[in-house]
Structure 1
Amino acid sequence: MLDHAHLSRLLETSIDTVVDLGARHSWTLHRATTGNGQQVFVKAAADCGPVLAAEAAGLRWLATGTESSPVAEVLAVDEKMLVLPWLAPQASTVEAARRFGQDLATVHSLPAEAFGADWDGYIADLALDNTPSSQPWSTWYAEARLLPYLRAGHQHLQPAEIRLIEEVTARIDSLAGPTEPPTRIHGDLWSGNVVWSGGRGVLIDPAAHAGHRETDLAMLALFGIDHLDHILDNYTEATPLADGWPDRIPLHQLHPLLVHLVLFGARYRSAVVEAATAALRAG
């Protein structure tokens, strides 16, 4: 049950109605209507203040420096609630997908000084090491993304499968492709974190950090999104990708698949092993 009084204090306005939208991970989701008729989306949690703060920081950081941001605005946040505008969902269209590809390229063009971020990271409600690093992306990715989640999910893998992923980390420099500078990425860009609204795709629920832009594109492909080819067409028209980037998709998908292994168990074991095998084969 959403605390109406707390939401009212946070937004400094009365709350007329609240519709409960269910729960996800350690929080509940709601659509609320304020006394002045504004509809808002509320993520509420009793013990997830750092997660909400990290999401708010990531949204604001991704939106900085863009004239027409494809990122949901943070209306309010505290240790119990994150409030965003309500985005009325629409069907995706080719036109919206092409605009989203260009918008994503714009976000990826924003400056970043080092891999990681200046706030503690989370993906779902799992901690994500965002300690800023001046190491090459390949080293940072192995040490801050792959190995921590391999250790956390090792019980769902056979010894030979663990060694397979360790081989990926050992060969990471040769698998990672041409060196790229850090860029601002969403970090958890599956289709459920893109809301089609107002004729465009809007980013929500990030695990934002400075990373490699191919990571976001690989995540879009992992679970599928409508009109991906049109998204990529306009993305690459705005910002070309390094040669061979499709071959590196499994490498970039390995981290989110390890996250799913930790969250949901052995049903993601075969996907993890397939991604690791494909990454090594491509290298």
Structure 2
Amino acid sequence: MHVKRRDGLPPEHFAVEAAGLRWLAAAADGVAVAEPVEVLPDGLVLPRVVQVAPTPAAAEEFGRRLAATHAAGAPGFGSAPPGVAGDGWIAELRLPLSERGSSAWGPFYAQQRLLPFLRAARDSGAVDAVGAAAVERVCALLVDSDPALTGPERPPARLHGDLWSGNVLWSAEGAVLIDPAAHGGHPETDLAMLALFGLPHLDRALGACAEAAGLDRGWRGRVPLHQLHPLLVHAVLFGSGYGAQAVRAARACLALG
């Protein structure tokens, strides 16, 4: 077994993480998950994953299984895993959640994912006024659900929510997910997070997921839109380097909308 502890986080952080892991694990034919054995006041007891080097075939299988995890669905955009009352977490930052979520992705993404973190990034000096205005213009298009920006409508997916490569472990049986910020969202969001921070055999994994999920060809052009939220999160946590990346992503989005 592996005991995960992280100082400075409230006890509910680990209860929310455990609920997210169990929700992801319940997806039929989805990606394997390190399901919690026990929730401690200051951490989680998790099964130990013996890691191996990933192969192209394993990456493709991961992509197909990720599509199945997404297809398990959620009540709405921003909906919490079962048993979670109140907000979730991404790293040590609060992540707005609700029981049923929202019915429209664009307004949800603008109002609950981009604007709160943009305000925090601007307050900390990680994003300046000119850059913030670009992100706010993207948010206005999202609130209007501009299809040129958002692409085709998709039902709420069951997202990992913090799917960078460090949260994908590779075992002899395939990929295993850890450390989620699980919620109902857009399936392209998990793919954009993988693309932001890399993954072994990334193109094989993304291509397999997109094919299994039936994503339209335009999804790759929307990657900057779905990277805006994690970039703003990182701007709040780590400063203006990520803030500048977020502004560049926003300007790429404005070229679409």
What TM-score, normalized by structure 1, do the two folds share?
0.82
Deviations 1:59-93 (A, max 9, x none): 00011142575111111103222111111121111
Output the amino acid matched with 2:101.
S
**Matched residues in 1 for 2:217 and 2:223: separation?**
12
User: How far does residue 105 in structure 1 lie from its aligned partner after superposition?
Assistant: 0.9
Aligned match for 2:60, one of 92, 95, 98: 98
Secondary structure of the residue aligned to 1:112 is coil
Give the structure with the higher percent helix.
Answer: 2
Give the whole-Å Cα distance in 1 for the aligned partners of 2:256 and 2:30.
37
Q: Distance in 1 between matches of 2:164 and 2:226?
A: 13
Which residue in 1 is equivalent to 2:248? 274
Counterpart residue number, 1:124: 91
Q: CA deviation at 1:275?
A: 0.7
Q: Which residue of 2 aligns with 1:216?
A: 190
Provide structure 1 residue ranges, at least 5 long, that are not aligned to the other structure.
1-38
Residue aligning to 1:34: none
Are 2:46 and 1:76 equivalent residues in the alignment? Answer: no
Alpha-carbon distance in 2 for matches of 1:46, 1:273: 30
Q: Is the 8 A contact 1:149 1:259 kept in 2?
A: yes
How far did residue 102 of structure 1 move? Answer: 1.1
The 3-state SS of whatever aligns with 2:32 is: coil
* Structure with the largest fraction of strand: 1
Counterpart in the other structure of 1:169: 139
Amino acid at match of 1:151: R
Root mean square deviation, CA, Å: 1.5
The percent of aligned pairs where both chains have the same amino acid is 49
Match status 1:62 vs 2:24? yes
Change (3 A) 1:88 1:141: same
1:156 to 126, 149, 163: 126
Cα distance between partner residues in 2 of 1:112 and 1:65: 11
Question: Which secondary structure does the structure 2 equivalent of 1:275 belong to?
Answer: helix
Quickly say closer, same or farther: Cα 1:227–1:117, change in 2 above 3 A.
Answer: same
CA distance in 2, matches of 1:114, 1:78: 29
Q: Deviations over 1:133-182 (max 9, x none)?
A: 33310000000000000011102222111111100001112211111111
Which amino acid is 2:251 matched to?
T
| Map of 1:143 onto structure 2 | 111
Cα drift, residue 45 of structure 1: 3.8
Structure 1 counterpart of 2:71, from 96, 106, 109: 109
What is the one-letter code of the residue matched to 2:22?
Answer: R
* Larger RCO (CA within 8 A; separation ≥ 6): 2
Contact between 1:44 and 1:82, CA under 8 Å: does it hold in 2? no
CA contact (8 A) 1:74 1:84 kept: yes
In structure 1, what is the Cα distance between the partners aligned to 2:197 and 2:50? 23
Dislocated runs of 4+, deviation >3 Å: 44-47
Summarize deviations over 1:225-280 as a string: whole Å, max 9, x none. 11111112322332210241111100000000000000011121221111111111
**For 2:27 and 2:160, how far apart are their aligned partners in 1?**
15
Query: Is 1:197–2:171 an aligned residue pair?
Result: yes
Matched residue, 1:22:
none
TM (norm. structure 2) is 0.90
Distance in 2 (alpha carbons) for counterparts of 1:279 and 1:189:
21
- Paired residue secondary structure (1:82): strand
Residue aligning to 1:33: none
Deviations 1:34-55 (A, max 9, x none): xxxxx32433546421211111
Q: Can you give the 5+ residue segments of structure 2 that lack an aligned partner in the other structure?
A: none
Residue correspondences, number = 245
Q: 1:230 aligns with which of 176, 192, 204?
A: 204
Give the Cα separation in 2 of the matches to 1:134 and 1:158: 30
